[in-house]
Amino acid sequence: MMQQYIEPQFLTALEKLGVEYCSAIQFSVPRQGSHGHLATNIAMMLAKGLGKQPRAFAEELLAALPSSDLVQHVEIAGPGFINITFTDAVYHQMLRDLHGMADDIGRSQVGRGKTVNVEYVSANPTGPLHAGHGRNCAVGDTVANLFAWNGYQVTREYYFNNAGNQMNKLGESIYARVQHRIGNPDYPFPEDGYHGEYIHTIADIVAEVHASEIGQMTEDEACTVCRKHGERWCFEAIKKTLGSLNIQHDVYFNEDSLYGDGKVASTVEELRSKGLVYEKDGATWFALTQLGNQQDKVIVKSTGEATYRLPDMAYHRDKLQRGYDVVVDIFGADHIATVPDVLAGVRALGFDTDRVRVVIHQMVTFVENGEVVKFSKRNGKSFTLDELRDEVGADVVRFFFIMRAVGTHLEFDLGLAKEEGDKNPVFYLQYAHARVCSILRKAQERGVALNADADLSCLVHPKEIELISLLSRMKANVERSCENLEPHTIAEYLRDLAGAYHNFYHDCRILGAEEPLESARLLLADVTRRAMRNGLLLLGVGTPERM
């Protein structure tokens, strides 16, 4: 936001010097206060091509720079940086502009008119979500939110498979428990069956609902009944878990439908017509090596069933055909091997895979008291996302899973997560929000009204300027976070923002300050409240007004 006041003047100066430069001038906010409010390396970037010394060229540039009452002074530093120090008037103008945005602070329109499909969670209905799924859920939903906050029209999609081996195992596992229940304790439990507590729960339901007829059915019929109950139960459980984390999908896409409407078959035929498919050992192979990948892979087994790669390609083709400008996949690191194959296939089918953006997040380790926690304390088996949420709360779940860069292995500290106080980073943000709300409430009680026309020129304290500066950068941060698919940068930004507010609050008395200071500070507090609130909404966590 700040650079909009100075960039045109640099362009004018360059023009005056007869230097052609087409890309945007880079400005950055220096870490160090003594380096001014904004710095540019433009002189260093261009000096070499012009055969000049960076500092000498910077001198020429400054001489050609039109004067402005928004700029206090400009200086050349170090190897050729140009450091710009603004007058406080720039900050007052920015705060005024931010206030004018009302509840749109931090929103951008860079994606206006564009559509995006974000696919995430996508766990098959063979059981409740486990704690490790949490990262996919939180990252996916936050990425979807980021697109929405950048003006894109977003479709949140869940891809699932309710056919095949794993689902049959589910049905068989439930059926075995039903048999145990109805007086057949020796009925064999399937090898690699599902052992969770929930299988018993579903078996209870089946035994109750189908009490009379289950004994009459053939094993196959009974397993099918069990599988259907299992699927329904699991999906309900999954959706309930997601709902409790503030996550709702727009589309549940059934993999099986790709067989029904011929999209899987046509994918094979199209690839075959391009000479990329061959038969060997009774199976159908996809010639990935011809596309530069490491090895050819089976796409239809000798049994006639497809391997997952094939419907995956058909599915991605379908999403691209639906016309989304951007198609985003959120995958765990364990799925990494399939990505290049699927993309190669879709590319071979004639689609521009630049439209596909894949977010691969690394695995999660849960730690408590310095020890790795692998299993649930409650049942000694897998640790469910519900249990995690019950233990630490939905806000903490969402925040902890996105607070680290997706590319790094995440250590989820349960001890820290359960902490309801100052150590917990979510509370730090929420507390800042609640604190601003509190002061606005108090102002109202005292009859001090928020004045949109307040004279802001009295805001000159360094902590006030720093807070405004940070607020002015929110939109750019939201844009960059979306462009790079890096939700954690929002968490970082909000921590800085909360810190800047606490600093301001500590050093600058608001209520009771002499007018026009009181009104100006109150306005600054209110803008901070809305920015903080928007940031928390973007992350999908609560925005408490009292704590």
Partner RNA sequence: GCGCCCAUAGCUCAGUUGGAUAGAGCAGCAGCCUUCUAAGCUGCGGGCCGCAGGUUCGAAUCCUGCUGGGCGCGCCA
Restricting to residues 352-371, which ones interact with RNA according to CB under 7 A?
360, 362-363
Task: Compare residues 181 and 502 and give the one whose CB is closer to RNA.
Answer: 502
Using CA atoms in the order 122, 229, 318, 271, what is the torsion angle rounded to 10 degrees? 100
Q: How far is CA 430 from the centre of its chain?
A: 19
Provide Rg for the chain, Cα atoms: 29
The label of the residue with tokens 């000096």 reads: 47
Q: How many residues does the chain have?
A: 547
Binding mask 109-128 for RNA (x = CB under 7 A): ---------------x----
Interacting span for RNA (CB under 7 A) from 107-115, 146-154, 344-352, 413-421? 413-421
Pick from 93, 153, 164, 326 the residue near RNA by CB under 7 A.
164
Task: Compare residues 80 and 230 and give the one whose CB is closer to RNA.
Answer: 80
Task: Compare residues 179 and 430 and give the one whose CB is closer to RNA.
Answer: 430
Q: Which of residues 280-319 bind RNA (CB under 7 A)?
A: 280-283, 294-295, 297-298, 301-303, 305-308
Q: Which of residues 488-547 bind RNA (CB under 7 A)?
A: 488-489, 492, 495, 498-499, 502-503, 505-506, 508-512, 545-547
By the rule CB under 7 A, 373 interacts with RNA: no
Q: Say if residue 428 is exposed, middle or buried (CB neighbours under 10 Å; 0-12, 13-18, 19+).
A: middle
Q: At what angle do helices 517-539 and 394-402 cross, to 10 degrees?
A: 80
Pick from 486, 533, 538, 541 the residue near RNA by CB under 7 A.
486
By the rule CB under 7 A, 4 interacts with RNA: no
- What tokens does 178 get? 């039903």
By the rule CB under 7 A, 427 interacts with RNA: yes
Q: How far apart are CA 502 and CA 470, in angstroms?
A: 13
Binding mask 254-273 for RNA (x = CB under 7 A): -x------------------
Q: How far apart are CA 277 and CA 283, in angstroms?
A: 10
By the rule CB under 7 A, 135 interacts with RNA: no
Task: Compare residues 153 and 166 and give the one whose CB is closer to RNA.
Answer: 166
Query: Kind of pairing, strands 71-77 and 115-119?
Result: unpaired
By the rule CB under 7 A, 186 interacts with RNA: no
- The distance of closest approach from Cβ of residue 298 to RNA in the complex, given in angstroms and rounded to an integer, is 4
Pick from 251, 333, 452, 460 the residue near RNA by CB under 7 A.
333
Q: Which of residues 56-115 bind RNA (CB under 7 A)?
A: 77-81, 83
Task: Compare residues 69 and 281 and give the one whose CB is closer to RNA.
Answer: 281
Q: How far apart are CA 103 and CA 98, in angstroms?
A: 9
Query: Kind of pairing, strands 326-332 and 356-361?
Result: parallel
DSSP 469-523: HHHHTHHHHHHHHHHTT-THHHHHHHHHHHHHHHHHHHHS--TTPPTTHHHHHHH
